[in-house]
Chain A
Amino acid sequence: MAGAASALFLLDIKGRVLIWRDYRGDVSSVQAERFFTKFIEKEDDPKSQDPVVYDSGVTYMFIQHNNVYLMAASRQNCNAASLLLFLHRLVDVFKYYFEELEEESLRDNFVVVYELLDEIMDFGFPQFTEAKILSEFIKTDAYKMEVTQRPPMAVTNAVSWRSEGIQYKKNEVFLDVVESVNILVNSNGQIIRSDVVGALKMRTYLSGMPECKLGLNDKVLLEAQGRTSKGKAIDLDDIKFHQCVRLARFENDRTISFIPPDGAFDLMTYRLSTQVKPLIWVEAQVEKHSRSRIEITVKARSQYKDRSTATNVEIELPVPSDATNPNVRTSMGSAAYAPENDALVWKIKSFPGNKEYMLRAEFSLPSITAEEPAPERKAPIRVKFEIPYFTVSGIQVRYLKIIEKSGYHALPWVRYITKAGEYELRLM
């Protein structure tokens, strides 16, 4: 069961090694590069796209970010979930350091990259991936380096995500409740799956080591306290917490208590799989008139209360890849043909509740078609939107208590927003 990575590789888009760190001396860069360059060449083979592959005794696990591959190699039965997630965290660390992770930024900072690779993993075991804390003792600007630098307490503390002695003049917390609606409607107009994934995104600017306690209108909690809530209490399906939240405590009495990291982080995410009414419903009718012309009629209807308004609505309608000469009319917003995506994108800046808008588009098709018609790419209609001051679940932050021993008063700001996640409606 035990197992660890043998080496980490940062590779360019062709699979050539940019920088690598050998942890165990049993996988060489030559071997890895030879395998991986060949591997990514054969794109057509679906097997070759698995993110975990085996070659002559070595397992390679990799992810891609921009024009860089990050890859871990191992000869043992290591924890694949942990290592792949670690690679994603590595991306976050590099992004924190270099703003963007790409081939160029790695080359430009190879000294720091080596330092980081030495600190975040030891003998193939993931060690520490909190970028903010790492940056306290591994700096990009070499000249600021103090010789007497010590490992921040946080590295080995139980509170490994926050250093002590942080000071702010004004203590503030911003809490954004963001809900993404995922929906999949099949070609019969049936909703086959719908769920809501919510996130409590926090930005903290707090001094010292503040103790925070968050109260939600969580049904389980309110019932446990014997309160029949005045408002609506909600039942969350699956809650995931940032590592700062005391899980055992939550399991015990549903209290969400924590010492937050400094800056931005996701305090918690949750999922709600109850059937939700699609907030924006889109119906499209595609008619092929003769062989050379196609007509698309689209109706978009908002199905939320009048007082809410969706903003930045974008409806992406798939069109045949050989369509030309678009002729589009809309009752609201504007539509643009995006041939690079084989789509027509209809944008509506502001979409109030209980309204219906129309779009009618006509395209020309080439009159000559292939002998054996290749199956059409069947992209769904995809919708993007944001509805501020509104949540589908009805989640409410009842309180956010912040207690620090210096006794300052901190201001919490809470915002709610709902947006489209993977919002797909399959065409008839």
Chain B
Amino acid sequence: MSGHDSKYFSTTKKGEIPELKEELNSQYKDKRKDAVKKVIAAMTVGKDVSSLFTDVVNCMQTENLELKKLVYLYLINYAKSQPDLAILAVNTFVKDSQDPNPLIRALAVRTMGCIRVDKITEYLCDPLQRCLKDDDPYVRKTAAICVAKLFDINAELVEDRGFLDSLKDLISDNNPMVVANAVAALAEIQENSSRPIFEITGHTLSKLLTALNECTEWGQVFILDALSRYKAADAREAENIVERVTPRLQHANCAVVLSAVKMILQQMELITSTDVVRNLCKKMAPPLVTLLSAEPEIQYVALRNINLIVQRRPTILAHEIKVFFCKYNDPIYVKMEKLEIMIKLASDRNIDQVLLEFKEYATEVDVDFVRKAVRAIGRCAIKLERAAERCISVLLELIKIKVNYVVQEAIIVIKDIFRRYPNTYESIIATLCESLDTLDEPEAKASMIWIIGEYAERIDNADELLESFLESFPEEPAQVQLQLLTATVKLFLKKPTEGPQQMIQVVLNNATVETDNPDLRDRAYIYWRLLSTDPEAAKDVVLAEKPVITDDSNQLDPSLLDELLANIATLSSVYHKPPEAFVTRVKTTAQRIEEDDYPNGSEQGYSDATSHVVDGAASPPTSSSSSPYTATRQSAPPAAAPAPAPQVPDLLGDLMGLDNSGAIVPADQPAAPSSPPLPVLLPASTGQGLQISAQLTRRDGQIFYSLLFENNSQIPLDGFMIQFNKNTFGLAAAGPLQVPQLQPGTSAMSLLPMILFQNISAGPPSSLMQIAVKNNQQPVWYFNDKMAVNVLFTEDGRMERGSFLETWRSLPDSNEILKEFPGIVMSNPEATLDRLAASNMFFIAKRKHVNQDVFYFSAKIPQGVPILIELTTAVGNPGVKCAIKTPNPDMAPLFFEAVETLLKA
């Protein structure tokens, strides 16, 4: 059924546009249709035919569906350049949206949504409202998507006209396709809004799982992707969900399979029964393997995802390493990813076979693949101690083939193997030295030089070998120069004879006087000083024992891994980067609504700053074709108060991604009964009935955030999540917040384990902690807490008197800072000392001074920063003088706060 449309591309010589204009206004239908086709053809090849706008729009009122579609297409393309004329089309659109033919009704509303012109969108509302309730499912499914389109252009309009509710109603539609599109639209809207719009409750969950069985393959993907955000309440619910999703693993569509895998993995985090988990792993393996029979592009996506999956659940594919062996005809991008997974799955059991494969690959022709294969052998050696020797012998075999780049790559990895197993395999150095003169790549050269320097005492002619490099010192790349410098120093320290002595002169001279490279110069000067002042010290520094390396180069950080696993099948999982790192389409309209919700309050600067930053990051594309888009953005009111912005651009993104960290803490664990009530941080009046009280506490050497949630609103609240902004100590949640559904009038306690040094804020130290809490029913709440620094005091803070004195003396006087606590009375020193000791502030000594007592304490905060404290007071009388001496005097204000809190308690 081949067409002959290409004839429309050919044009006559004389003035094309006037001719088309004439034809468009012809009285003959066929001629008009041909003319429109010519216009579209011209548009396709990139000619500007926007000047024919009125003439084309005049052809819009036609009975001919094909012609109508062409005119609509023209409108989508040129309406934004002719916004005033586009209004001419509105009448026909509105009329078409009431046409008896559902195809035309859907076409009208679909096209109107694509025209991103404000004036048109106003007229879109009424037809859209009708179409959302149309009798024909084809029209409804089109209308559902159209709501998302409208939201993208004008979010307020969507909210004002209640389209969100109509869209939510469609989730209960009896037609599966309509349900799927409604889910896709809602998920998209949710993504671009900071308010909870699309919550998946237990009820919607079961409805969607039912629709899953009936809708098209693409619809199944929408639903599975949306549902993977759902957090089951407990293990039982998780198991139920998984049971209903597992049949999808049998679907022929790879995207359905991957999205089902994502959902199962998410729910598995909650499942406690090891049998069930094992069984699920077993079930997921075959479908994952089958993905490798798909088209190469899909294989690529699958492999990037499998890479993530085996990091979290290595057992799933532990026995399937063979399926990742490269086929001769695999595209290079597939081979590279397979190699990466083979390294991950390599074990003592299969290493022989894996090495055979790597060796095979290392003799192929594709240079990059070969290099990666050689590197893979090295990484296996580092990973598997028992196989290291076999790996090395394979590397030596490869070196013997004498293919230049193989040799160089092998030497680079052997250097790493030496770092991993020091003093174990030097017997091969002689073999390596044979290839010395063939090395021409900086990294390989640098590696070889490192080896020579490191084992200078075992290599008889180490000085000769290094000397051969010295001649070309000035021409070598920086990497090689640095290694050469260090290696020569090592040689000299190990063999302080005449030869090396001369060499070191040459090198130091070259590296200080003759170079412009500051790194090299600085390193050379340090060596020079060391060598001239104290050669023994130089030995201690230069020949110090090096920390052993491990192969973690390709292991992802656990929290990032969590986030990526929640994004299986998406670009995020392909890039191995969180979505914020590359998503550039950010909505500004949504932020406007958020601002309306927080009309005042001292924390305003915080949320404003959020929208402000997002605004800036949005950077709309500035090509002329997107002018209306730009206009929408500009119309967004500029964020108020330019507040000293704490940077929280991805606070919300993180909130969404947080839901699957591994740690599980029982939510109902009550706080110690004796402890005083927690301070209220979010009063019910601000939190629409939700009250949050919280405080940091320390228990058994671990920091917790003790939280109390009270629901005074009329609705049950669930899906609580928490996020901490950057702060001085980088305090952040170590796991997800575990709060059960809160019925109205009930409350729940939660102990959230915390970790330090996650997101450290720059700037002067501050005890301010900014927290965001979110649930499925309410907007995000932001509130502040003052960090009680004393919870950071570690258990090992006790100092011996001697070392206390020594530390005190070693710190300059400028590090001593004084503060008075006028209101505090110490009436019972013993009790106070006990209490302080319980909080890891340890008593060292006491002395009398005139009529006052002077107490000395020590404490320590993580990363070993000591704090020395001197308290001077007259027992029983108000007023305590506190002096603090610490290497970090700028933290002193925080410590004063801590000491004051402890004394008051």
Contact A186–B571 (Cβ < 8 Å):
no
Task: Kindly provide the distance from the CB of A237 to the nearest chain B CB, expressed in whole angstroms.
Answer: 5
Chain B contacts for A104, CB-based, 8 A: 6
Contact B327–A240 (Cβ < 8 Å):
no
Interface readout for A74-108 with B: 1 if CB under 8 Å, 0 if not? 11111111101111100000000111000011011
Chain B contacts for A62, CB-based, 8 A: 297
Contact B254–A85 (Cβ < 8 Å):
yes
Docked Cα-Cα span, A197 to B253, in Å, equals: 16
> In chain B between 544 and 602, which residues have their CB closer than 8 angstroms to a CB of chain A?
566-567, 569-575, 579, 582-585
Closest residue on chain B to residue A137 by CB atoms:
B103
User: Contacts A149-B101, A375-B365, A380-B328: A81 and B258 contacting too (C-beta < 8 A)?
Assistant: yes
Closest residue on chain A to residue B620 by CB atoms:
A26
Docked Cα-Cα span, A140 to B620, in Å, equals: 38
Closest residue on chain B to residue A19 by CB atoms:
B44
Chain A contacts for B364, CB-based, 8 A: 375, 377-378
Q: Which of A47-55, A202-210, A211-219, A324-332 contacts B (4 or more CB under 8 A)?
A: A47-55
Q: Which of B134-142, B458-466, B863-871 contacts A (4 or more CB under 8 A)?
A: B134-142
Docked Cα-Cα span, A28 to B625, in Å, equals: 7
User: Contacts A86-B218, A145-B64: A243 and B213 contacting too (C-beta < 8 A)?
Assistant: no
Docked Cα-Cα span, A46 to B579, in Å, equals: 24
Interface readout for A129-153 with B: 1 if CB under 8 Å, 0 if not? 1000000010011100101111100
Cβ of A389 within 8 Å of any chain B Cβ, yes or no, is: no
Contact A84–B301 (Cβ < 8 Å):
yes
Q: Which of these, A24, A52, A98, contacts B152 with CB under 8 Å? A: A24
Task: Kindly provide the distance from the CB of A157 to the nearest chain B CB, expressed in whole angstroms.
Answer: 8
Cβ of A311 within 8 Å of any chain B Cβ, yes or no, is: no
Contacts across chains A and B counted by CB atoms under 8 Å: 336
Task: Kindly provide the distance from the CB of A133 to the nearest chain B CB, expressed in whole angstroms.
Answer: 11
Contact B213–A50 (Cβ < 8 Å):
no
Docked Cα-Cα span, A215 to B110, in Å, equals: 44
Cβ of A238 within 8 Å of any chain B Cβ, yes or no, is: yes
Closest residue on chain B to residue A239 by CB atoms:
B250
Cβ of A285 within 8 Å of any chain B Cβ, yes or no, is: no
- Using a Cβ–Cβ cut-off of 8 Å, how many residues does chain A contribute to the interface with B? 117
Contact B251–A240 (Cβ < 8 Å):
yes
Contact B574–A112 (Cβ < 8 Å):
no
Contact A125–B218 (Cβ < 8 Å):
yes
Chain B contacts for A156, CB-based, 8 A: 136-138, 141, 175, 177-178
Interface readout for B408-424 with A: 1 if CB under 8 Å, 0 if not? 00000000000000000
Chain A contacts for B328, CB-based, 8 A: 379-380, 382, 424
Cβ of B537 within 8 Å of any chain A Cβ, yes or no, is: no
Contact B251–A243 (Cβ < 8 Å):
yes
Contact B290–A271 (Cβ < 8 Å):
yes
Chain B contacts for A269, CB-based, 8 A: 252, 290
Contact A250–B101 (Cβ < 8 Å):
no
Docked Cα-Cα span, A75 to B192, in Å, equals: 13
Task: Kindly provide the distance from the CB of A161 to the nearest chain B CB, expressed in whole angstroms.
Answer: 9
Chain B contacts for A6, CB-based, 8 A: 585
Contact B138–A99 (Cβ < 8 Å):
no
Contact A81–B301 (Cβ < 8 Å):
yes
User: Contacts A50-B300, A126-B218, A269-B252: A247 and B213 contacting too (C-beta < 8 A)?
Assistant: yes
Which 8 interchain pairs have the tightest Cβ spacing?
Answer: A238-B286, A57-B584, A2-B187, A82-B255, A75-B585, A247-B247, A77-B579, A156-B137
Give 20 A-B contacts (CB < 8 Å), ordered by A residue. A1-B229, A2-B188, A3-B191, A4-B188, A22-B77, A26-B620, A31-B623, A46-B336, A52-B574, A63-B297, A112-B5, A122-B142, A122-B181, A123-B146, A147-B64, A184-B325, A192-B356, A247-B213, A378-B363, A424-B328
18 further A-B contacts with Cβ under 8 Å, apart from A2-B190, A85-B253, A268-B252, are A1-B228, A28-B625, A49-B331, A51-B297, A59-B582, A75-B585, A76-B571, A112-B3, A118-B73, A129-B218, A147-B101, A150-B101, A150-B102, A151-B138, A156-B175, A192-B357, A240-B252, A269-B290
Residues of A within 8 A of B (CB): 1-4, 6, 17-19, 22-31, 46, 49-52, 54, 57-59, 61-63, 74-82, 84-88, 97-99, 104-105, 107-112, 114-115, 118, 122-123, 125-129, 137, 140-142, 145, 147-151, 155-158, 160, 184, 186-188, 192-193, 195, 197, 237-243, 246-248, 250-251, 266, 268-269, 271, 273, 372, 374-380, 382, 422, 424, 426
